[in-house]
Amino acid sequence: MTSDAWSRALALLPDLLAALLTGVWMTITVTVGAFFVSLALGLVFAACRTSSSRVLHAITYVYVELFRAVPVLTQLFIIYFGLAAIGIRFNPVPAAILGFGLNGGAYLTEVFRSGILAIHRGQTEAAMSLGMPRLMTLRVIVLPQASRIVLPSLANFAIGLLKETSLASAVAAPELSFQAKLLVDKTFLTTQIYILVAMLYLCMSLPLSQLARILERRAARGRRA
C-alpha cells in the first residue's frame, strides 16, 4: 500500500508541483503584502510612541497591546468573518494581508521604537536646535541610522511571517497550505504532499535565513566600529 502511494505520487509529481507552486506564489504575495503593511504601520506607530504627545502615545499603546495579545488566527477570523456580519467584506487574500499586517505592525512598532531610542538623543536635540522640525529630524537623521540597527530583526520577522501565512488557509486564502489540503483531499497522498510542502517552505525560508545572518554580521561589525 505504501509503495503504491509513493508510485502514485511519483506519477502525479508534475501535477502536484504545478498546483503547489500556485500556492507558493500566493504565499509570497501574502507575505510581501503583509510585510509592507507591517512596515508602514510599525514606522508610523513607532514615531507616535516616541513622540511627546500623550494622546498619540496612548493610542499606540492600545494598538500594540491589543494586537500582540490576540492570536493572529483570531484576528483573521474577525476580519474575514466578523466584519462580513456587519457588511464589510474582504476577499480571502486582502483579508490575510490586512490581518497579518495589523498583527505584524504591532511587533514592528516595538522594533522600530527600540531602534529609534538607540540613537543618541543629542543628535535629535542638535537638529531641533538648528530649527529642523521633529518629523524632518526623524526622517533625515534618526530613521536612516535606526534602520541599520533593526535590519536583522526585520529579516527575522519576514521569516516568521512567511511561516505564519499558512494560517491564511483558515480564511480560504489559496496559499501553499490551502493548496496542499485540496490535493490531499483529492489524492489521499498526505505524507507525500506534505513532504513537498515542507521542501517548498525550506526553499523560501532558507534564503531569508541566510540574509538575516548576513545582516546580523554587518550590524555587529557596525557596532564594533
Q: Cβ distance 49 to 60 under 8 Å?
A: yes
Tens digits of per-residue pLDDT, 6-17? 888 888 899 999
- Domain containing residue 205: CATH number: 1.10.3720.10
Helix axes 143-164, 190-224, angle to 10 degrees: 170
Judge whether residue 91 has pLDDT over 90: yes
> Based on the structure, what is the number of domains in the chain?
1
Choose between 177 and 141: higher pLDDT.
177
Tens digits of per-residue pLDDT, 114-131? 888 887 777 766 766 767
Q: What is the mean pLDDT of the chain?
A: 88
Tens digits of per-residue pLDDT, 173-215? 999 999 999 999 999 999 999 999 999 999 999 988 888 788 7
Tens digits of per-residue pLDDT, 142-181? 777 777 788 888 988 999 999 999 999 999 999 999 999 9
DSSP character for 88? -
Q: Cβ–Cβ contacts within 10 Å for residue 213, how many?
A: 13
Cα 36 from Cα 28, distance rounded (Å): 12
**Per-residue model confidence (pLDDT) at position 126:** 72
Percent of the chain with pLDDT over 70: 92
Tell me the residue range of the domain where 98 lies. 2-224
**Per-residue model confidence (pLDDT) at position 223:** 56
Cα 76 from Cα 201, distance rounded (Å): 22
Residue whose cell numbers read 546580523: 216
Task: State the pTM of this model.
Answer: 0.88
